[in-house]
Amino acid sequence: MPALSARLRLVLMRMTRRLWFRAALYALVGVGTALLGTVLRPWLPQGVAARIGASAVGNILGILASSMLAVTTFSLSTMVAAYSTAGSSATPRAAILLVEDSIAQRALATFIGVFLFSVVGLIALSTGIYGDSGRVVLFGVTIVMIVVIVVTLLRWIEQLSRLGRVAETVDRVERAARRALQQRAEAPTLAAADWEPLPEDAAALHGESVGYVAHVDLAALQSVADEHDLTVWVAAEAGHFATPDQPLAWLSARPQEAVRAGLLDAFVITDQRDFQQDPRFGLVVLTEVAQRALSPAVNDPGTAIDVLGTVTRLLCDWAATSRHAAGDGHRPRPAPRHPRVRLRALDPRELLEDVFAPLARDSAGMLEVAIHLHKALATLATLGHPALRDAARGEATRALELSDARLALASDRERLHRLADWRHAT
């Protein structure tokens, strides 16, 4: 049951981020509001409609219906163009963040909701179910809808001026990556127990699906492990590409088929990686943006330099939060909520490999980008995180070897070697 509820929560969370969900919600509100006048009609005084000019509500609703349909069509075409631009100029993996943009969804949902509100109101008016008193309610709600539309349009125009730009896309990916990295920095093992070496008789838990692990329900694993006296080593975290020949987890004992099915239910496997629980995915997407900028067809080293600064900022914040979460060594660490589940903490070497390995290769012949790459690695090495310093030293050495093979001038190669002198410090 816990696995089912976690899967349901994941489905609901993804559903609420879809454009149609907000549009349907606003549409229901609009339809309900349009029919509100028929419910409140008996409680309103007679003759008030004539005094406030509620008889004109039909003309207003007609204007709203026609204009909202046009605005919705224009907005959809603009968004599709922005998604295409983001996919071609940045990376297709970042387009999902534009699709899930809350401002765009609220704008379109408002336009569609007001359109349906207007249509339902016009239909109700033509049937005569409102009467004079009901028109007052419809007129008042229509005025409120107009105010909502004006505010939404102003925000939407501001959003359209940035939608699809590379800088805006980088900012969105940074925010998504920051949330996932901060979550892992505050709880390196996500409230599970620390990883320990596997026993020799550990049993592998294999799945049958092929795809990316989007979510691992640690609470469900803990529940099954408690019930059957097991210890679970999670081998496939969020972002891992799962195949039937690779174990999703290791178990302290070979489970029965029913227990095995319960454990497998805790692993949600989809066809795409997700930003929500996969901190490395945000770094990978940022790297793809920089790689596209470095391609001969684009030749935009400035964007690559901007991405290097973004990644450095993210990793600095991650390291600082990790140190703060670890404390000063005098406070005891909180007991894990899932003591029977063991999970690896983020490996700094893998974080740096996701970014600096491909960028060092693609920027080896560009001195200006290589300089910023080495400055970023030098910054990360001084954060007081031993594993991060060792990983930065390895990436700097590899980057120097690549630049030595690509840079034509000896003075350029010497400059990079001077920037990387920090590698020899103890």
**227 shares a domain with 132:** no
CA dist., res. 400 & res. 395, Å (int): 9
**123 shares a domain with 86:** yes
Residue 369 above 60 pLDDT?
A: yes
Long-range contacts of 79-87 (CB under 8 A, 24+ apart): 79/104, 79/108, 79/163, 81/164, 82/163, 82/164, 83/164, 85/164, 86/164, 86/166, 86/169
All residues at 6 or more sequence positions from 329 whose CB lies less than 8 Å from its CB, including other chains: none
**In this structure, what DSSP letter does residue 56 have?**
G
**305 shares a domain with 265:** no
Structure tokens at 168: 């805006």
CA dist., res. 106 & res. 84, Å (int): 21
Q: Which of 247, 270, 293 is the last residue of a domain?
A: 270
**311 shares a domain with 232:** no
Residue whose C-alpha is closest to residue 2's, from 173, 185, 225, 156:
225
**266 shares a domain with 201:** yes
Instruction: Report if residue 169 sits inside a domain.
Output: no
CATH number at residue 266: 3.90.1170.30
Instruction: Report if residue 151 sits inside a domain.
Output: yes
The neighbour count for residue 272, using CB atoms within 10 Å, is: 10
Instruction: Report if residue 341 sits inside a domain.
Output: no
Residue 103 above 60 pLDDT?
A: yes
Instruction: Report if residue 175 sits inside a domain.
Output: no
SS3 at position 296: coil
Instruction: Report if residue 183 sits inside a domain.
Output: no
SS3 at position 300: coil
Instruction: Return the pLDDT at 400.
Output: 94
Upper half-sphere CA count for residue 232 (Cβ side, 13 Å): 35
**94 shares a domain with 158:** yes
SS3 at position 45: coil
SS3 at position 210: coil
Considering its fold, how many domains does the chain have in total? 3
DSSP percent split of the chain into helix, strand, coil, nearest 5 = 70, 10, 25
pLDDT digits (tens, 9 = 90+) for 314-348: 999 999 888 776 655 445 667 889 999 999 999 99
Residue whose C-alpha is closest to residue 192's, from 223, 222, 224, 230:
222
Instruction: Return the pLDDT at 2.
Output: 46
Q: At what angle do helices 367-381 and 348-362 cross, to 10 degrees?
A: 170
CA dist., res. 399 & res. 308, Å (int): 14
CA dist., res. 376 & res. 397, Å (int): 14
**19 shares a domain with 139:** yes
pLDDT digits (tens, 9 = 90+) for 397-417: 999 999 999 999 999 999 999
Instruction: Report if residue 173 sits inside a domain.
Output: no
**111 shares a domain with 197:** no
Cα-based angle 243, 240, 11 (whole degrees, multiple of 5):
95
Domain limits for position 314: 279-335+346-424
Instruction: Return the pLDDT at 222.
Output: 92
**111 shares a domain with 128:** yes
pLDDT digits (tens, 9 = 90+) for 123-157: 877 777 666 666 777 777 888 888 988 988 888 88
All residues at 6 or more sequence positions from 406 whose CB lies less than 8 Å from its CB, including other chains: 364, 365
Q: Where are the alpha helices (DSSP H) in 90-187?
A: 95-99, 102-127, 131-160, 166-186
**Cβ contact 420:371 at 8 Å:** no
Instruction: Return the pLDDT at 109.
Output: 80
387 burial type by CB count under 10 A (0-12 exposed, 13-18 middle, 19+ buried): middle
Q: Which of 164, 180, 200 is the last residue of a domain?
A: 164
Any idea which of 51-60, 68-77, 301-310 has the lowest mean pLDDT?
A: 51-60
Structure tokens at 59: 């003309």
Q: What is the DSSP secondary-structure string of 312-376?
A: HHHHHHHHHHHHHHHTTSSSPPPPPSEEEEEEPPP-HHHHHHHHHHHHHHHTTT-HHHHHHHHHH
**224 shares a domain with 149:** no
Q: Which of 270, 288, 316 is the last residue of a domain?
A: 270
Instruction: Report if residue 313 sits inside a domain.
Output: yes
- CA distance readout (Å), 213 to 4, 239, 245: 16, 5, 15
**220 shares a domain with 148:** no
- More confident of the two residues 358 and 86: 358
**77 shares a domain with 160:** yes
The neighbour count for residue 386, using CB atoms within 10 Å, is: 10
Instruction: Report if residue 211 sits inside a domain.
Output: yes
Structure tokens at 90: 């940045």
pLDDT digits (tens, 9 = 90+) for 195-237: 999 988 899 999 888 999 988 989 899 999 999 999 999 999 9
